[in-house]
Amino acid sequence: MLIALAAAALAMPAQAQSPADDAAAMHAKVDGLIARMTLEEKIGQLEVLGDDYGKLDDLARAGKLSATNGVLNDRDVAKYTRHLQDMAMQSRLKIPLLFEGDVAHGYYTIMPVPLAMAATWDTALTTQVHRQAALEATASGVSWTFSPMLDIARDPRWGRIVEGAGEDPYLGAAMAIAQMKGFQGDDLSRPDTMMATAKHFAGYGAAQAGRDYNSADIPPRQFRDIYLPPFKAVADAGIGAVMAAFTAIDGVPATASRKLLTGTLRDDWHWPGLLVSDYDAIPELVTHGVAATPADAAAMALHAGIEMDLHSGIYLEQLPALVRSGAVPMAEIDAAVRHVLEAKWKLGLFADPYRYGDEAKEHDPALRAQSRAVARRAATESMVLLRNQGVLPLRKAGRIAVIGPMATATRDLEGQMPAAGDPARVVTMLAGVREAVAGKAQVSYAKGVDVTGDDVSGIADAVSAAKASDVAILVLGESVGMIGEGNSRAAIDLPGQQLALAKAVVATGTPVVAVIVSGRPLALPWLADHAQGLVYAWLGGDEAGHALGDLLFGDADFSGHLPVTMARALGQVPLSYDHLPTGRPGDQHSIYTSRYVDLPNTPLYPFGYGLSYTSFRYGEPRLDSATLGPGGTLHVTTRVTNTGTRAGAAVVQLYVHDEVASVSPPVRQLKGFERIALQPGESRDVGFTLTPADLAFTRRDMSWGTEPGRYTLYVGGDSTATRSAAFTLSPARR
């Protein structure tokens, strides 16, 4: 009877007519397959093996491979993925393969890095950016991306800060959902959507000393209030996969934490998706010192909840003997296989194993042009104007010197893991400036110094170029080898002799606009005091140069706002706007207070900060009630006016402070934002809605919920906003 039911399930139509029917069909299909699979075939479904593992064709034909690389820049990806799917279709059960990869900020067309996208505070644009990435990647056969990265990062030394949305859980959750929507759309079974992965669950961004792969020491309350909320948000929103972190938290590596992976993710959040390890993280449990042997590591990770091993092959090599010996229950294998097969069903792969991959679409010039247009807009919105002493926008006339090692950078502007990007397609900062003023101004170039190293022999040429010009655009920053995974820095200032170059150019007396190309918030106190203009350009992707040209010469307006706090010096780190108060608040002139003797406590630039070519006035917040009751809503409205002479976009931000709580509350927390475009003189009411759930936190007894009392809210253009109003949260009904 069981075999007959299994055969009937395998013959069922791939798609059903309603969600309920589709779920029933999925479960029948998966049940039927699991009933027919051998142990080795089941374990094969738990492996994501790279092309360096060897004999992938043989493994695919034997039904012992579940997924492999889909992002490879050394081959024709569409042909490669189709070939391996052909091999899988020769297997006994014809279970299709997943093709994965890091499609983090574009695929063929490289968009601004995620930290730069967070600086747009534009969730709709962020969705569009990742929609374009999905269109391009799926045309090459890629069905699964290891993105978005949701790690809250408050230490700029950590190289992977570039992959996330910065320091704030509210902004991080909003950007993560926007990315997920871009990848997954409304229907994962469509051939132009792909499964997204929330990584790294959880706390990886708190690596001690900002050193990648290091352990993390996060107090349990902070872990729940700061590091988990973005993951909870995308779990609720329906993300398809989650990747566990490398990190050990309180001595337990996430890869081995059943409390975190099964307890929180499965039992508490009821999340039904696919859980994958990070790259080689399972065998690294031995190095962590919590597993004695690879076999122990495999059993420990599977029991914790890791359903797919990424890259190492440890499940394929260790689990068969563990199951046969009784050390690993078959029920754990079956539960893991079920989630893998369900993910493949949801992607529509059982309906059509070849649905991902369209060589004609892969090279469609219309798609490429559309992606370039989105990339240019994204780069334009991401750049942040930090200082303008009347020098910007620049005139398209006279003589302009472009100086600095990052002015001609190409690969560096692509950022970390640029998928199928090509540095030859990157518009450099120098090219963008030249194109913006073509036929109207003379542009000279001098490198001055390298990004790193001590050679200063080129500074003389840079000084001569600046002296001979009406303005100098100084393009400085970090090379790609200094940011991203494995590239932590012990310092957060400009590397090499770039500051010496800046000082020499500024000393000429020629007005200077400094443009910083970087994947982390650097400490730039000297430039903040001496450059007439200071622009944070991040790593803007293929269209970074065009975006910079548009902005510097006023063809577009700056509208980016910082998603991170910028420190004055490394000694202030970690530094975030939502810090806790202290019994002795800092006073630079009082010794027994929380202060530095050699530096103000305040950041160089606060979270949420960004200038424009126009100006905005924020009205006092108006509340529809002085009380927020249980199950109720509080509507907050503020009038925003463009008080300048040109159109611009404001990022209106709402912050809340709990005046008295059972645990010391943050000085303020972001609870809403909206990006609006206004014409000169135009005013608009911007509204926010608060509910009691928005005010929940981990209370003194470690329960999650709210506490009645008085709250103050603030509205404005950054985290130092002063326009305020007060309300009271009523006690919950008993």
**Separation between Cα atoms, residue 301 and residue 245, nearest integer Å:** 12
Give the count of beta carbons closer than 10 Å to the beta carbon of residue 560: 32
Amino acid at site 125: L
Q: Determine which one of 122, 151, 225, 278 is catalytic.
A: 278
Which amino acid is residue 88, in one-letter code?
A
What is d(CA 558, CA 612) in angstroms, rounded to the nearest whole number? 5
Whether 412 is a known active-site residue: answer no
Amino acid present at 548: L
DSSP string, 238-251: T-SEEEE-S-EETT
* Residues 419 and 142 sit within 8 Å (Cβ to Cβ): no
List the one residue out of 146, 266, 133 whose CA is nearest residue 197.
Answer: 146
Cα–Cα dist 13/39, whole Å: 26
**Cα–Cα dist 567/573, whole Å:** 7
Calpha distance 242→665 (Å, rounded): 30
Q: How far apart are CA 513 and CA 652, in angstroms?
A: 27
Q: Which two tokens stand for residue 119?
A: 């600086």
As a whole number of angstroms, the distance between CA 244 and CA 50 comes to 18
Ramachandran class of 496: left when φ > 0, alpha when ψ lies in -120 to 50, beta otherwise: left
Residue type for 578, please? Answer: D
Q: Give the C-alpha distances (Å, rounded to integers) separating 445 from 199, 289, 394, 450, 473.
A: 41, 54, 17, 14, 10
Q: Burial letters for 608-622: b for 16+ Cβ neighbours within 10 Å, e otherwise?
A: bbbbbbbebebeebe
Q: Is 477 helix (H, G, I), strand (E, B) or coil?
A: strand
How many residues comprise the chain? Answer: 734
**What is the torsional sign of CA 717, 720, 722, 727?**
positive
| Omega before residue 148 within 30° of 0, cis | yes
Whole-angstrom Cα distance, residue 183 to residue 190? 11
Closest to 37 in 3D by CA, of 333, 268, 379: 333
Element (H, E) at 658: strand 648-658
- Looking at the annotation, which residues are catalytic? 278
